[in-house]
Structure 1
Amino acid sequence: MTTHSHPDQAARPSVHPSASPEAAPAGPRPGLLLGVIALCTGVTAANIYLATPLLGLIAQDLGASTSAAGWIASISQLGYAIGLLFFAPLGDTADRRRLVAVLCGVAGVALVAGALAPGLPALAAAVLVACAATVVPQLLVPLVAERAPADRRGRHVAAVVAGLFTGIVAARVLGGLAGQAYGWRAVFTGAAVLTVAVGLLTALVLPAETRPRGKGVNPFKTIAGLPGLLASSAPLRAACLRQGGIFGAWSALWTTLTLLLTGTSGAYHLSPGTAGLFGLFGLVSTAVAPVSGSLIDRFGAQRVVNTGFALTAASLPFFWLGAHHLWALCVAAVLIHAGLMAGQVANQTRALAATPKPAVANTAYVVCGFIGGATASAVAGPAFDHWGWTGVCAIAVLWLTVGWTGGLAAAGRRSA
Structure 2
Amino acid sequence: MSSATPPPPGALTVEGARPTAPGRPRAHTPPPVPAAGLPPRAFLVLIAVCTAVTAANIYVAAPLLPLIAEDFGSTPSGVAWIASVAQFGYAAGLLFFAPLSDRVDRRKLVAALSLATTAALVLGAAASGTTVLAAAVLIASTATVVPQLLVPLVAARAPADRRASHVAAVIAGLFTGVVAARVLGGLAGQAFGWRWVFLGAAVLTAVLGLASAAALPKETHRRTGPLFGGLARLPGVVRGSRELRRACIRQGGMYGAWSALWTSLALLLTNEGDGYGMTTGAAGLFGLFGLAASLVAPIAGGLVDRFGAGRVVASAYSLAAVSVPLFWLGGERLWTLCAAACLVHAALVASHVANQTLALTTTSTPAVANTAYVVAGFAGGALASALAGTAFTHWGWTGVCAVAAGCLAVGWGVTSLRLRK
TM-score (norm 1): 0.87
CA distance in 2, matches of 1:15, 1:75: 30
- The aligned counterpart of 1:292 is 300
Equivalent AA in structure 2 for residue 214 of structure 1: R
Pairing 1:387-398 to 2, within 5 Å after superposition: 387-398=395-406
**2:181 matches 1:176:** no
Structure with the higher fraction of residues in helix conformation: 1
- The aligned counterpart of 1:89 is 99
Equivalent AA in structure 1 for residue 149 of structure 2: L
200, 206, 223: which one aligns with 1:214: 223
Equivalent AA in structure 1 for residue 28 of structure 2: A
Q: Note the C-alpha offset of 1:381.
A: 0.7
What do the CA deviations read for 1:392-411 (whole angstroms, capped 9, x no partner)? Answer: 11111111121123334476
190, 193, 197: which one aligns with 1:187: 197
- The aligned counterpart of 1:399 is 407
Q: Note the C-alpha offset of 1:13.
A: 7.7
Q: How many residue pairs align between the two structures? A: 402
- The aligned counterpart of 2:4 is none
**2:66 matches 1:56:** yes
Equivalent AA in structure 1 for residue 348 of structure 2: L
Q: Note the C-alpha offset of 1:353.
A: 2.8
- The aligned counterpart of 2:207 is 197
CA distance in 2, matches of 1:153, 1:411: 36
**2:315 matches 1:310:** no
Instruction: Say whether the 8 Å CA contact 1:26–1:207 is kept in structure 2.
Output: no
- The aligned counterpart of 1:6 is none
Alignment RMSD: 2.9
**2:348 matches 1:343:** no
Residues 152 and 230 (structure 1 numbering): CA distance in 2 closer, same or farther, change over 3 Å?
farther
- The aligned counterpart of 1:366 is 374
CA distance in 1, matches of 2:385, 2:136: 19
Aligned with 1:324: secondary structure?
coil
Instruction: Say whether the 8 Å CA contact 2:89–2:138 is kept in structure 1.
Output: yes
Equivalent AA in structure 2 for residue 116 of structure 1: A
Identity between Structure 1 and Structure 2 (%):
60
Instruction: Say whether the 8 Å CA contact 1:240–1:369 is kept in structure 2.
Output: yes
Range 253-262 or range 63-72, more displaced: 63-72
Pairing 1:226-237 to 2, within 5 Å after superposition: 226-237=234-245
Q: Note the C-alpha offset of 1:277.
A: 0.7
CA distance in 2, matches of 1:316, 1:392: 10
54, 64, 83: which one aligns with 1:73: 83
What do the CA deviations read for 1:46-91 (whole angstroms, capped 9, x no partner)? Answer: 1011000100111111223322311110111111111112111112
Residues 182 and 216 (structure 1 numbering): CA distance in 2 closer, same or farther, change over 3 Å?
farther
- The aligned counterpart of 1:25 is 30
CA distance in 1, matches of 2:240, 2:163: 24
Q: Note the C-alpha offset of 1:150.
A: 9.2
Equivalent AA in structure 2 for residue 314 of structure 1: V
Equivalent AA in structure 2 for residue 197 of structure 1: V
343, 360, 363: which one aligns with 1:352: 360
CA distance in 2, matches of 1:162, 1:339: 18
Range 252-261 or range 91-100, more displaced: 91-100
CA distance in 1, matches of 2:158, 2:417: 32
Q: Note the C-alpha offset of 1:161.
A: 3.6
What do the CA deviations read for 1:81-140 (whole angstroms, capped 9, x no partner)? Answer: 111121111122222222112111110111011111111111111111000001112223
Pairing 1:128-277 to 2, within 5 Å after superposition: 128-144=138-154, 146=156, 159-209=169-219, 213-215=222-224, 217-219=226-228, 222-277=230-285
Range 181-190 or range 143-152, more displaced: 143-152
Instruction: Say whether the 8 Å CA contact 2:114–2:205 is kept in structure 1.
Output: yes
CA distance in 2, matches of 1:213, 1:380: 45
Q: Note the C-alpha offset of 1:341.
A: 1.3
Aligned with 1:163: secondary structure?
helix
TM-score (norm 2): 0.86
- The aligned counterpart of 1:325 is 333
Instruction: Say whether the 8 Å CA contact 1:19–1:147 is kept in structure 2.
Output: no
Residues 403 and 395 (structure 1 numbering): CA distance in 2 closer, same or farther, change over 3 Å?
same
CA distance in 2, matches of 1:19, 1:96: 24
What do the CA deviations read for 1:271-305 (whole angstroms, capped 9, x no partner)? Answer: 10111111111111122223333444555433433
CA distance in 1, matches of 2:291, 2:307: 24
Instruction: Say whether the 8 Å CA contact 1:236–1:351 is kept in structure 2.
Output: yes
Residues 11 and 150 (structure 1 numbering): CA distance in 2 closer, same or farther, change over 3 Å?
farther
Residues 67 and 216 (structure 1 numbering): CA distance in 2 closer, same or farther, change over 3 Å?
farther
Residues 154 and 251 (structure 1 numbering): CA distance in 2 closer, same or farther, change over 3 Å?
farther
Instruction: Say whether the 8 Å CA contact 1:51–1:72 is kept in structure 2.
Output: yes
CA distance in 2, matches of 1:131, 1:12: 22
Equivalent AA in structure 2 for residue 213 of structure 1: R
Q: Note the C-alpha offset of 1:149.
A: 8.6
Range 93-102 or range 332-341, more displaced: 93-102
Residues 246 and 162 (structure 1 numbering): CA distance in 2 closer, same or farther, change over 3 Å?
farther
Instruction: Say whether the 8 Å CA contact 1:240–1:365 is kept in structure 2.
Output: yes
CA distance in 2, matches of 1:197, 1:353: 36
Range 113-122 or range 30-39, more displaced: 30-39
Range 285-294 or range 105-114, more displaced: 285-294
- The aligned counterpart of 2:385 is 377
Aligned with 1:266: secondary structure?
coil
